[in-house]
Amino acid sequence: MPLARSLSVTSLSGLEEWDEEFDREDAVLFEIAWEVANKVGGIYTVIQTKARLTCEEWGENYFLVGPYMESSVRTQVELIEPCNAALRRTIDKMNSSGCKVYFGRWLIEGSPYVILLDVGFTAWSLDRWKSELWENCSIGVPWFDREANDAILFGFLTAWLLGEVCTQCDEPPHIAAHFHEWLAGLGLVLCRQRQLPVATIFTTHATLLGRYLCAGNVDFYNNLAEFNVDKEAGDRQIYHRYCLERAAVRCAHVFTTVSQITAIEAEHLLKRKPDIVTPNGLNVKKFSAMHEFQNLHAQSKARIQEFVRGHFYGHLDFNLDKTVFLFIAGRYEFSNKGADIFLEALARLNYLLRVNHSDVTIIAFFIMPARTNNFNVETLKGQAVRKQLWDTAQTVKERFGKKLYESLLVGQLPDVSKMLDKEDFTMMKRAIFATQRQCLPPVCSHNMLEDSSDPILNCIRRIGLFNTAQDRVKVIFHPEFLSSTSPLLPMDYEEFVRGCHLGVFPSYYEPWGYTPAECTVMGIPSISTNLSGFGCFMEEHIADPSAYGIYILDRRYRGVDESCNQLTSFLFQFCQQSRRQRIIQRNRTERLSDLLDWRYLGRVRYYTHTKHTVNCFSDHQGPMLCPLSATGFRYPRPASVPPSPAHSLHSSPHHSEAEDEEEPYDEDLEAEKDRVNIRQPFNMPNRNKNQTVSLPEKN
């Protein structure tokens, strides 16, 4: 399913200069999404992380529009008076007409202005607006779909807001409105239906129908062109939602998506090829010295090791210094997120490590929230036993140290046999007896409410990974998001990721994939797939991704068994790396963070907003983007050795330190070459935030 190349970050050097006669000072950007100051999913992360950069681009003329959620507003938003008279009149007019509209600053980096619409307060208009939607667009929405009802209320309020802004200005400004996902898409449709002077952009982060189809275990990507989209949406009772999404796509002046793989999906399911691909980024905070993030890795790894000591008490028959921590995290979508193929690969990896008599131990963490009623008693007991052993050791150490000090004070060498008395030995024996347990270390850290039907636990029972002494692969299922206040594993997600060695995300459906991107920014290698936006992005920009710690699993052109074998091979090869090789690979991975920086990727979105506004408010016929030339870049494979284990000449899982020391490697030289291979981030025009560029006032 080849897709003609759309504009993406690869073609940044081909971005045209827009018409300088267009005064961007008169342009205003409204960004509309259901997840503005309302954490639901990945779009919240997109908007939150790029807010600072967008504020630098647009200054006081950037406004986020979202739903009013009281619980979120209390902790995230500072309510203030509107900064502009025209906008103040707009909000006052809407409030006097039976709405509740709030204005404030979102308390995140950049402190962007937010306009929050109370959809619940306007629910009295729902039937009237549904009738208007049916009369004008022939889209009917059932009464029982609360999410779709919210989308209707939010869409009509958004269109009302934008229309009122145009009315309150004597000379309407050049307004660009960027809508995210189907929940906000109705506002775009109404803007076009009412012929408002607004340049519209619609971004789909994942198609509705694509997510439903993949969740149904269909051969999705090999049959994209064959689906009867109307029938499939109707069979899943989401036809009205699909109509809202497709209407927004068809009505938008510019249609964008976040990755090439999602562009293919949108072309077949939404029947429109995206005009531009705008990859998602992150706020990258670079360290002043390279070794700083390595130190953070060591500190976080030590904290994970402490948890492991407690979890495996009584069965700690493996060397923690030769233990590799793997993890998978995200929404609990067993097949879509690739947890099924990961578990199967772990079973095969366990066999390989045992037959090769490897001294490496793998501990695989599954961080996926599920329904639980409390922590597992045995898991909590393990942490209590670990703490008791630590306290005992500290007590004996203090008493031993005091006797040693007193012996040295009198000028005598201590008699080691007399340094520990009977009471000390009794205390230590009691501590050792406390570590004895009659059961295996638990696979799950919590009590599951649906234990017998849980997909992960059932798969573990089938493959037989029960954390026995013979297993070289251990599994820990943590069905709750991580928190620094947890009594079990008191670590934030970022700290936990930094302490692991490899993130494994073999997703089948992943329009972008923030989890491997976050790993990359923190210098942690990861496994992604060629069906994820992140994986396609990295394949496009790196000649040999595995050399930089980005392993791309082929799930598009291979069967499940072949993909599982490839994943097993990746994991086995990663286990063969020496400590020095892992450090080198982490350095290379961290250097890729520039590729994912909003200061770089933001140029694509800035181009989209500005160039499109130029086209819409110029004399051009049709507000479409101009054709663009594409000249990109690719990271070459590092010339220095040691190479990635996928290309290593060493076949033995036992790697000697002598071999490592003989391998030439110049960190500074390789880092400088990588810096040359990526262009400097585009310098956005900064507006003075203290100087408001006002909407035109009405006389």
pLDDT of residue 641: 43
Q: Which pLDDT does position 22 carry in this prediction?
A: 45
Confidence label for 419 from pLDDT (cuts 50, 70 and 90) = confident
Angle at 367 between CA 363 and CA 368, to 5 degrees: 140
Name which of 273-282, 626-635, 678-687 the model is least confident about. 626-635
pLDDT band for 613, please (50, 70, 90 cuts). Answer: low
Domains in the chain (CATH in brackets) are 27-282 (3.40.50.2000)
pLDDT score recorded for residue 665:
66
* Mean pLDDT (whole number) for 74-101: 92
Alpha carbon 92 to its chain centroid, in Å, reads 38
Q: What is the pLDDT of residues 12-56, one digit of tens each?
A: 333 344 344 445 567 899 999 999 999 887 899 899 999 998 998
The Cα-based distances of 169 to 31, 123, 162 in angstroms read 19, 28, 11
pLDDT exceeding 90 applies to what percent of the chain?
61
Task: Write down the residue that tokens 């390789």 correspond to.
Answer: 670
Of the candidates 395, 396, 372, 394, the one whose C-alpha atom is nearest the C-alpha of residue 488 is 372
CA dist 127 and 133 (Å) reads 10
Q: Averaged over 111-124, what is the pLDDT?
A: 95
Query: What DSSP line would sit under 100-150, residue for residue?
Result: -EEEEEESSTT--EEEEE-TTTTGGGHHHHHHHHHHHH-----TT-HHHHH
What does the pLDDT average to over 119-139?
A: 94
526-529 sheet: strands from edge to edge: 473-478, 361-367, 323-329, 502-504, 526-529, 550-553
Q: What pLDDT shows up at residue 659?
A: 41
Per-residue pLDDT, 615: 67
pLDDT confidence tier of residue 636, bands split at 50, 70 and 90: low
How far is C-alpha 599 from the geometric centre of its chain's CA atoms? Answer: 18
Least confident of 22-26, 105-109, 365-369, 640-644: 640-644
User: How many beta carbons lie within 10 A of that of residue 396, not counting itself?
Assistant: 17
pLDDT of residue 691: 44
Residue 428: predicted pLDDT: 85
Distance CA 253, CA 654 (A): 59
**Closest by alpha carbon to 441, among 529, 570, 314?**
314
- Report d(CA 619, CA 44) in Å as an integer: 36
Query: What value does the mean pLDDT of the chain take?
Result: 85
**pLDDT tens, 558-576?**
999 999 999 999 999 999 9
pLDDT surpasses 50 at 4? no
- CA–CA dist 569, 589 (Å, integer): 20
Lowest mean pLDDT among 253-267, 353-367, 431-445: 431-445
pLDDT category at 681 given cuts 50, 70, 90 is very low
Say yes or no to pLDDT of 384 above 70: yes
- How do 526-529 and 361-367 pair as beta strands? unpaired
Q: Taking residues 172-176, report their average pLDDT.
A: 82
Query: Residue 73 — pLDDT band, cuts 50, 70, 90?
Result: very high
Higher pLDDT, 287 or 247: 247
How far apart (Å, rounded) are the C-alpha atoms in residues 629 and 632?
Answer: 10
> Is 580's pLDDT higher than 90?
yes
Q: pLDDT at residue 625 above 50?
A: no
Q: How far is CA 418 from CA 274, 394, 400, 412, 626, in A?
A: 80, 19, 10, 13, 87
